[in-house]
Structure formats: structure tokens, C-alpha cells
Amino acid sequence: MKRILAMVLSALLLASSLAGCGGASSTSGSGTQASSTPVNLTMMFDATATDPTLSVLNEVVKDFNASNKFNAKLTLQTYENEQYKTKLTTLMASNSVPDIFFTWELDYLKPFVDSGKVYEIGKLLDQDTEWKSSFQSGVFDPVTYNNKIYAVPHAKSICVMFYNKKIFKDNNLTIPTTYTDFLKLCQTLKNKGITPIALAAPDAWVPAQFVQQITDGIGGMKIYNGLLDGTVKWNNSAHIEAGTEVQSMVKKGFFQDGFLGMKSANSTQLFMDGKTAMYFMGCWDIASITDKSLSSIVNNVGAFTVPAKDSKNNNILVGSIDLSLAISANSKNPEAAAAFIKLFGSEKYQEEFLYKTGHLPTTKINIDKSKVSSVTADVLSISEKAEGLTPWLDRAFGAGEGVEFNNKCQAIFGGKDPTEEFNALQKFAETNSSK
Amino acid sequence: MNKVMGNKKYIALFVLPAFLIYLCFLLVPIIYNIVISMYSTNLMSPGTFVGFRNYVNLFTQDSTFVQALGNNVLMVIGSLIAHMPLALLFANILFNKIKGGSFFQTVFFLPCVICGVAIGLMWTFMYNSQFGLVNKLLSLIGLGRFSQDWLANPNTAIFAIIVVVMWQYVGYHMIIQLAAMKNIPRSLYEAAAIDGASKWRQFCSITLPLIKNVLRIDAVLIITGSLKYYDLIAVMTGGGPNHATELLSTYMYYQGFRTLKYGYSAAIGMILLILCVLSLVLSNMVFKSEDVQY
Amino acid sequence: MKTKSIDRIFLVLKYLVLCSFTALCLYPILWLVINSFKTNQELFADPWGLSPNFSVRNYIDAFVEGNIGTYFFNSAFIAVCVLAVGVTLSSMASYAISRMKWKLSKVTLNVFLLGMMVPTYAIVIPLFSTFNFLQILNTHLAVIIAQVAGCFPMAIFILTGFFSIIPKDIEEAAIMDGCGMLRMFFRIIMPISKSSIVTVAVITFLATWNDLLLPQIFLSDQPKMTLPVGLMACQGQYTTNFVGMIAAVLVTIIPTVIIYIFLHKNIMEGMVAGAVKG
């Protein structure tokens, strides 16, 4: 008796869980009932409580909730980075992603798009040509899958070398224009007892983006493009050369003491406290660096591009898009959600993001250079001069080769042989595809 | 009597609630896990059946998995070496009635009731290269040249964590062994003392053989325990740097909830299950002994 | 005379060993306490001594910004639920298995004991997908169910051992007096097995209270998180505020330590009993 019961029960459970595994089909409702009854929207965003981006975001939410033609109320949920990724994954699997969610581009969003979890916002963009045409060309490329747009990016981000103007001035240093100059500059600083560069190795993507930048300077766009279409191997000579370069910088002590174990936020703090001359990071850190409560060098920061080892690649940068928002496929009110996203990307807030947090706009707005901080101005001009952007490899290649690339770069910073590490990465890449 | 104790209704009432929960949320999931582990699925779109390919790939193509497996073995060996002798030493000292014994017991046992995440964080502070105690202590006793980023250095990270594991659980194993010792009749020792046997002799020929059974159980606890470590690693290193502290548990979490390879992740879970069973069988064989009579 | 001095040397050695490990156990916690009253700058400048400007600012931060209070409540709620359900059901099942007369009792026991070898990792993916299907992901219920199911093997392992040594006379006398099964179990058997039940309760409580993996996977909203998950979240969120984290860790530890000071006998007996009796 009990056995039969047990068997029936287990069979039921198995069937039910398999069905859950198969994924119930997403239901995207119509948003017609919108304007009369109040619509509740939820949005989840990747930010910590102290994130300056959040203050602007809160303004947008307040503005949206005060009046919009859908009579919609948007609730904002924020999560810290790691938490955010876990949360989004969980919600994706259980088909309960909030109406609007922050996302990264390229390989991060891809599995969700492939599984039909993301609303094709391109449809709404096409209907609203004024909205779509406000964006600069090419910014939708990293969020386009099968020629369909699935998210709207609201910032461009590039990696730059921030520098402390005061330290440079006090020591009669100028921005380096060649790679040799750059190394010389670091050596000079080092000789004077000033730590040249702040960098934190424990978050593997931080050392990785530096290696990627040096690689860009050696091999140019063809390395990135080749990796994408499979014509260039991960253990290509540019990667290995970049690894060797970085390692010699480590040996010369160009990075702060203890950088191998120092948390990312702490190395940022070192630079903001004026204790290192330079700091290599994505331009999103402008927000913190120019925040008076966090930084003591607010008015003394500039930015430049790390000069390429092969000077013809001088303006090729690690960079991509940022602040991308997407709508969930099971949102009952995609139009209302889109209205919020449109407001988020409106001229007013693109300006606020630029002037207050230093996010480079993705729309075609007229920039009032007098309103931007000097470092933002530097970054803007770097961005304008950029001849090519190579997106972060962990975004382009995702959790497989992308993350492994980060790990290998971290290991190289830690003293492992670049050739061996990149050979291992190539081997990993060859076998990873079959997993 | 037999009528009451054999009443089917009561038996069902007593056993079924627990059994059904256990069945649905522990036994069936294991079977379901075997099923998932043969699929390639991200739980969002229908998966594809791949048979044993996940398992084959784990061992033939995934160097990170092999590394994690190696780290797990290292953890097991490290924990055995770190726990067993030290716990036995403490237990034996405390067994021979010493003043303040119960105080020491209480203190030694304390760390293992504290949650692993808190302990992990605490030791992250201890190992911190800027203000951490470990480095400060080293330079204080003139070994400053050894100070480093213990958790960031791939060569030291796993050992740094084994130390924490030892710190946390030595008291637990000590108490287990001590309890076993206390079950030994005092008369045996008295007789031995009369025969002029030294303390060491008494330890070797009375204590050790009589607690052998418990030592076996303790060994199984240590082994399965160290196969299952998760929270310390998750807090302290997240499996890094460059997988140096990656364990099967953290790797499984990563593959499942970060890269969405649920099938692959389930296969890692199965390997963990097999290892736990194996360790039990193995230690049964190693410590095989006849029942001890007091 | 000679043996006495050797004994004395041994005694000193013994105390030396014991005291140094005591210091090793307690000092890190004391160190946390000392530094929890400092500012970050003071911590970096001097991690040893007390701060001249005593401030409970970090504790306020831990509660206000770190939500430690909420996490604490969630942890307690889940642990108490698991405890109540798990201990009741497992003692009933153990009693039926060890005392009642039925053919499959041995088999059932072995099936339960099988679970002791199952690491949580072997079932998280299926549970995740099952709870997803049942739509109880991100609820405390999911964690409670999983923890209850997980506590049975160990609990039944310990309890069957205890129940099997209860003298038959007690039951016989009770039945002679016309006591029903339920009454006998709850009024006679449970009270005389108090020690073993406390044992099981303590193990279950600690396992639930300290667990990271299950709540980490099942709970993703900050207001629902348990202490371990919440601490992980804090660590990601306030990376530079070391002193704040130190205070948060202490707030997590202190209640456990206080409970431990009062109940350490039971806790120790509890956590060890399973191993020794086995």
C-alpha cells in the first residue's frame, strides 16, 4: 500500500519537476487595460546603496511615478552585483522576472533571449522612431540578437587610465604618448617612492581588463574580432606578449603593495585618497572619484588612454555599453515599461547621468562641456577619438572562455607563466564548446 | 501489548509524515538529480538528453573540475591530519581529570557552534594583508618576511582555509573522542595502574583500542564534512584565486547558478554523492574491527 | 619523588597546550570586539589596542544599513519552524521504527539512514526546480521544507538508538493502564527521552541556523534572507567598511555565544551523541 503510494507520489513529483524544468511558456499579456487602472511595475537594478548612479535613478523613478500616461507606479529593487546575478538567474528560471531589469550585453543576455525570456523591445523602438533615432549609431549592436533588439543601453563605458593631476604636476610629469614613455613614467614615479598604478587582482576581471587593454595596443582590433569568429586562438602572440608585459610591470613594482589580495573597492580608495598616481578602470568609476564624500582628489583627476605598444593601435580601447535595461517577456505592461525606459534615456536624464555621474551618453545629446567635470571631459574626448572598442571578454564570451580569460590574467598577475596560462585557456576553449 | 504496538494505523500515523517529506524532498530529488545530470539544460528552455556526456566531460575535458577534485582530496587529507591527532591530544589531556577541564572543553567547542559565514569573515579580517593579525603577528616575532596575502596567493590559500577549518572543528572532534573515553570503565585504568602501566601505555592499550569505533565514526565525519565544505570558501575566496581553492561544492554552485549549466552542475552533485558513499565504505574497511566489549 | 617532578612538568606542558589553544579560540573574537568600536582609519593604523574615541556607530550601521536585525529574525523563524516540525516528526517516526512491530521497520530505518550519506549538493538542483514549479522559491517555506527533509536521517539515527534502550516495562505498564498510543508517546515516552530529544533539537537548530547554501539558493530578496546569506550580501555591498562588517559579524556571533554559555552542556552532548552512540 505504502509502496504504491510512494511510487505514485514520486512519479507525480518527477513529472511535475520535469515540467518545471522544461519551462512553462511565457505569457506576455496585453497592456490595453493600462490607462484606467493603476499599473504596477517593478524594476530590478544592479547597484549598491552607496552607488551615486542610484541617486539619479531614484530621480527618474520619482519623475515617472509622479505622472505618466499609463498611470503606472514603478517600484525599484536594487541588489549588489553578485546578488543581482543570482537573483536574476533564479527569477529567469521561475519565469518571474520583474517588468524591467538591468542587464549586461552580449553573452550575458543571450541565454535569456534564446529561451524567450526577454521582450523584444526593438518592436517598440521601431514604432517610436523619434525614440530610436535619438540613439547614436551602433549602440544597439551588443544587445541585438538575430537582428532583433532586446535591450536599451544608456551609457557607453570605456576603460581609461585615471591619473592624479597633482602628483603629475608636483613631479613635472606629462601624459605619456608612447608605450615607452608610459613605462618610463611609471619607473620615475616608482623611483620617487610613489605607487604608480592602483589595481586590485582578487576580482579577476580587473587584472583581465588591463591585460586586454595592453593586448589591444599590441594586436589591435583583429585580435578581438579573430577571437569572435574563431580565426585567432586564445594563445595568440599578442595575448602572450601582453601577459609578459604586465608581468614585468608587476616585477618592477608598478602596482601597489598587496594588490594581489586587495579588494577592488580598496584599491579605488587608494587612488581617491591620492596615494597612487594612476588607476586603470572603466569610466563608470568617475561617479565615485568625483564624489566629494568619497574622494579627496575630486578636482585633480584626469584621464588618458594607455599608449599602445604598437602605436597604430593607439586609440583602441576596452569598452562597450552600460546601463542597459530590458523588459521581461512575461511583463503584463511592456508599453508602460518601455515608457519608463524612454524616460530613463531622455535627454534630461542622459545629461544628468553625464554631468553628475560621468556616464557617457548613448543618445545624441548636445554636451555642455562647461557642466562636466574635467575628468569626464577627458573621457569624452578619449571616447570621441576611439577608433575601436573591444568589449570586455567576459561579456563577449560569457561564463566559459570569458571568465576563464579573467582567471588566467589573474594568475599571470600572480606570477604564472603567460604562455602556459594562455595555452591552457586555448585548450579550455577547445573543450568548452562541447560541454 | 503486541496488538497496540502492531496497530497499522498508528504505525502509519507515526511514520508516514516524516517518510513522505523525506521521500519527496530527499530521495526523489536524488533520482531526479540523476535524470538532470544526463541532460544539458539551463532550466529555461527544454534540455537535450546527453547521456553520460556530462560525466565524461567532467573528467576528460574540465581541468577546473579535476583541480577542484584535487583540492577536495587535499581538504580531506588536510582535515584528517589537522583534526585527528590534535583532537586526540586535547581529549586525552582533559580525560585525565585536570583542573578547569570543563572550562577548556567549553571554550574549545565554541567555534563550531558559530556560523561558518561569520567565521569566514572573521578570518578574512585575520588574514587581511593591511591590518590582519596573522601578518602583524609574524612581523612581531621576527618572521615578517613570510607575511603575505594568504588568501590571494594560490599557493597558500587552501592551507589558510584548512587552518580555519581546524580552528573551527578541532573542539568538536575532541568532544566526540572525549565522550567515547568517558564510556570506558574506570576500573580498567585502575587495574592497569596497579600493574604499573605508564600513562602512555594505558593510552595505547586501553584508551585507543576501546575508542577505535568512535574514531572510525569520527573519521567518517571528518571526511564527509570536508567533502561538503562550502560556506567558508564561499565567503573567504569564492574558489579563487584562479580556482586554487575551488572545491566540488563551490564549483557546482558556480556551474549551476552562474553559468546556468544545471545538468552539468547536477553531475558534479552526483560525484559528490558518490564520494561521500565511497568514503564511508572505505573507512569502514580501514577501521574494520570486532565489536569492543567493555 | 622523581616521578612527581616529571608529572609536574607534564602538568605545566598540558596547561601550556590548553591555554594556548584557549587563546587561539578566544582572541580572534576579542579582537573583533576591540575593533568594532573603531573607525576604518583607526583599524588600519593600529589593529591591536582600544580606540580612544569609543563609538557604537558601527553597530548602528550594521542594524540600520546592514539590516542585521531582519536577517536575525528570519534565521530564528526558519530555525524554530524546522525545529518544531523536524523534531516532532522524526521522534514519531523513530518511535514507530524502533518500538512498534511491523515488517518493514528495518527497511524503513535503512532508507532513512541512507540519507546521511547524501550531501545537500546532490539535491539542490532538483529542489530548486521543484520549488520553482511549486512557486515557493524565494519563500521561507522552501528553506524549511528542505531543511526538515535534510534533518531526518541524523535525527532518526540518534533517536532510534535512544528509543531502543527504553525498558519494555514502561510501555507494558502504560498499556495495562489503558493508555492509548498517542497519549503514551507524548506523555510518557517523550518526557523520558528528553535528553535525546534536546540532543536532536540542538543539532537541527545549529544545522539550520548556520546553513548558507540552501537559503542562498532559495532566498533572493534581501528582506527574506537569513543571517549567513545576509552577511554574504553585506560583504559584497560594503567592501570598504571593514569596521562595519566586524560589527555585523559580532552581532551574528554574540547571540550564539550567549545561548552557548547557558546551554553548552546540552549542545555538546547533543552534537556528540550522534557520533558516539552510533
Confirm whether C203 is domain-assigned: yes
B249: chain C residues, CB-CB within 8 Å: 119, 121, 213
**pLDDT of res. C116:** 81
C187 Cα to chain B: minimum distance (Å): 15
Give the cell for residue C249: 559579524
Confirm whether B96 is domain-assigned: yes
- What's the domain range around B161? 60-286
A384 at the C interface (CB within 8 A)? no
Q: Does residue C131 share a domain with residue C80? A: yes
Question: Which residue is closest to A20 within chain C, CA to CA?
Answer: C133
B23: chain A residues, CB-CB within 8 Å: 6, 9-10
pLDDT tens, residue by residue, B93-124: 888 878 888 889 889 988 988 888 999 999 98
CB distance B17–C89 less than 8 Å? yes
Would you place residue C275 in the very low, low, confident or very high pLDDT band (cuts 50, 70, 90)? low
pTM: 0.83
pLDDT tens, residue by residue, C227-243: 998 888 887 777 677 88
CB distance A201–B242 less than 8 Å? no
Q: Which of residues 192-231 of C touch B (CB under 8 A)?
A: 206, 209-213, 216-217, 227-229, 231
A2: chain B residues, CB-CB within 8 Å: 12, 16, 19
CB distance C47–B131 less than 8 Å? yes
- Best residue in B43, B63, B265 to probe A by mutation, most A CBs within 10 Å? B43
CB distance C93–B18 less than 8 Å? yes
CB distance A410–B12 less than 8 Å? no
Query: Which 3 state secondary structure label does DSSP give A337?
Result: helix
Give the cell for residue A76: 525599484
C161: chain B residues, CB-CB within 8 Å: none
Q: Does residue C85 share a domain with residue C41? A: no
**pLDDT of res. C274:** 57
- Best residue in A75, A83, A264 to probe C by mutation, most C CBs within 10 Å? A83
**pLDDT of res. B69:** 93
* Helices C2-35 and B116-127, axial angle in degrees (round to 10): 90
Would you place residue A433 in the very low, low, confident or very high pLDDT band (cuts 50, 70, 90)? low
C252 Cα to chain B: minimum distance (Å): 7
Query: Which 3 state secondary structure label does DSSP give A235?
Result: coil
Bridge pairing between strands A316-322 and A388-390:
parallel
A10: chain B residues, CB-CB within 8 Å: 23-24, 27-28, 31
**pLDDT of res. A13:** 44
Confirm whether B236 is domain-assigned: yes
Cell 544539458 -> residue: B40
Among C190, C228, C221, C223, CA closest to C206: C228
How many domains is chain C partitioned into structurally?
A: 2
**pLDDT of res. B288:** 60
A111: chain B residues, CB-CB within 8 Å: 42, 44, 260
Burial of A133 (0-12, 13-18, 19+ CB in 10 A): exposed
A80 at the C interface (CB within 8 A)? yes
Would you place residue B287 in the very low, low, confident or very high pLDDT band (cuts 50, 70, 90)? low
- Best residue in A77, A86, A115, A257 to probe C by mutation, most C CBs within 10 Å? A86
CB distance A414–B242 less than 8 Å? yes
Q: Does residue C139 share a domain with residue C29? A: no
Q: Is the pLDDT of residue A21 over 70?
A: no
Nearest CB among C119, C156, C276 relative to B227 is that of: C119
Question: Which residue is closest to C215 within chain B, CA to CA?
Answer: B231
Strands (E), A186-275: 195-198
A87 Cα to chain C: minimum distance (Å): 5
* Spatial separation of the C-alpha atoms in residues A131 and A345, rounded to whole Å: 9
Mean pLDDT computed over A360-369 = 83
Q: Does residue C225 share a domain with residue C176? A: yes
C212: chain B residues, CB-CB within 8 Å: 115-117, 230-231, 234
Q: Which of residues 172-191 of C touch B (CB under 8 A)?
A: 172, 175, 181-182, 185
CB distance C128–A93 less than 8 Å? yes
Half-sphere exposure of C224 (CA within 13 A, CB side): 18
Mean pLDDT computed over C56-83 = 88
- Best residue in B121, B261, B271, B283 to probe C by mutation, most C CBs within 10 Å? B121
* Spatial separation of the C-alpha atoms in residues B158 and B127, rounded to whole Å: 13
Give the cell for residue C127: 529542489
Mean pLDDT computed over B274-279 = 87
Q: Does residue C232 share a domain with residue C100? A: yes
Contact partners of B by the rule of 3+ C-beta pairs under 8 A? A, C
Query: Which 3 state secondary structure label does DSSP give C145?
Result: helix
Instruction: Report whether the peptide linkage leading into residue A52 is cis, meaning its omega lies within 30 degrees of zero.
Output: no
Q: Does residue C37 share a domain with residue C146? A: no
Confirm whether C173 is domain-assigned: yes
Residue B75, domain CATH: 1.10.3720.10
A291 at the C interface (CB within 8 A)? no
Nearest CB among B1, B106, B172 relative to C271 is that of: B172
Residue C252, domain CATH: 1.10.3720.10
Share of chain A above pLDDT 70, in %: 91
Last residue of a domain, one of C28, C57, C86: C57
Spell out the domains of chain A, with CATH numbers in brackets: 37-152+324-358 (3.40.190.10), 157-319+380-432 (3.40.190.10)
CB distance A6–B23 less than 8 Å? yes
Q: Does residue C211 share a domain with residue C172? A: yes
Nearest CB among C123, C249, C257 relative to B30 is that of: C123
pLDDT tens, residue by residue, A298-357: 888 989 999 988 888 888 889 888 889 999 998 888 888 999 999 988 888 888 888 887
* Spatial separation of the C-alpha atoms in residues A181 and A186, rounded to whole Å: 9
Confirm whether C217 is domain-assigned: yes
Last residue of a domain, one of C35, C57, C79: C57
**pLDDT of res. B15:** 92
Mean pLDDT computed over C263-270 = 75
How many domains is chain B partitioned into structurally?
A: 1
- Best residue in A26, A255, A330, A407 to probe B by mutation, most B CBs within 10 Å? A407
Confirm whether B13 is domain-assigned: no
Confirm whether B200 is domain-assigned: yes
Q: Is the pLDDT of residue A61 over 80?
A: yes
B33: chain A residues, CB-CB within 8 Å: none
A–B interface: beta-carbon pairs under 8 A: 121
* Spatial separation of the C-alpha atoms in residues C42 and C53, rounded to whole Å: 10
> If you average pLDDT over every residue of chain C, what do you get?
85
Q: Does residue C255 share a domain with residue C118? A: yes
Confirm whether B23 is domain-assigned: no
* Helices B157-182 and B63-95, axial angle in degrees (round to 10): 40
Q: Is the pLDDT of residue A36 over 70?
A: no
Confirm whether B81 is domain-assigned: yes
A16 at the C interface (CB within 8 A)? yes
CB atoms within 10 A of CB C64: 10
Question: Which residue is closest to A88 within chain C, CA to CA?
Answer: C220
CB B263 within 8 A of CB B36: yes
B31 Cβ contact list (under 8 Å, min separation 6): A10, A14
Confirm whether C63 is domain-assigned: no
B43: chain A residues, CB-CB within 8 Å: 20-21, 23, 93
> If you average pLDDT over every residue of chain B, what do you get?
85
B–C interface: beta-carbon pairs under 8 A: 276
C82 Cα to chain B: minimum distance (Å): 13
CB distance B62–A14 less than 8 Å? no
Mean pLDDT computed over A166-171 = 90
Would you place residue B1 in the very low, low, confident or very high pLDDT band (cuts 50, 70, 90)? low
**pLDDT of res. A34:** 42
Would you place residue A47 in the very low, low, confident or very high pLDDT band (cuts 50, 70, 90)? confident
Mean pLDDT computed over B211-216 = 81
- Best residue in B42, B126, B127, B262 to probe A by mutation, most A CBs within 10 Å? B42
Q: Is the pLDDT of residue B140 over 90?
A: no
Nearest CB among B5, B136, B224 relative to C100 is that of: B5
Q: Does residue C105 share a domain with residue C25? A: no
A391: left (phi over 0), alpha (psi -120 to 50) or beta: beta
Q: Does residue C72 share a domain with residue C45? A: no
Mean pLDDT computed over B269-290 = 78
Q: Is the pLDDT of residue B70 over 90?
A: yes
Bridge pairing between strands A148-149 and A276-282:
unpaired
Q: Does residue C34 share a domain with residue C140? A: no
* Spatial separation of the C-alpha atoms in residues C267 and B269, rounded to whole Å: 31
* Spatial separation of the C-alpha atoms in residues A305 and A162, rounded to whole Å: 9
A205 Cβ contact list (under 8 Å, min separation 6): A392, A394, A406
Instruction: Report whether the peptide linkage leading into residue B154 is cis, meaning its omega lies within 30 degrees of zero.
Output: no
Report how far apart, in Å, the C-alpha atoms of B106 and of each of B83, B171, B178, C275 are. 17, 9, 13, 18
- What's the domain range around C45? 2-57
Contact partners of A by the rule of 3+ C-beta pairs under 8 A? B, C
CB distance B242–A400 less than 8 Å? no
Q: Is the pLDDT of residue A259 over 70?
A: yes
Q: Does residue C43 share a domain with residue C91? A: no
Give the cell for residue C201: 533539537
CB distance C25–B6 less than 8 Å? no
Confirm whether C62 is domain-assigned: no
Confirm whether B226 is domain-assigned: yes
pLDDT tens, residue by residue, C153-198: 888 988 888 888 888 888 888 888 888 888 888 888 888 888 788 8
* Spatial separation of the C-alpha atoms in residues A360 and B73, rounded to whole Å: 49
A273 at the C interface (CB within 8 A)? no
pLDDT tens, residue by residue, A313-324: 888 889 888 889
**pLDDT of res. C92:** 94
CB distance A89–B257 less than 8 Å? yes
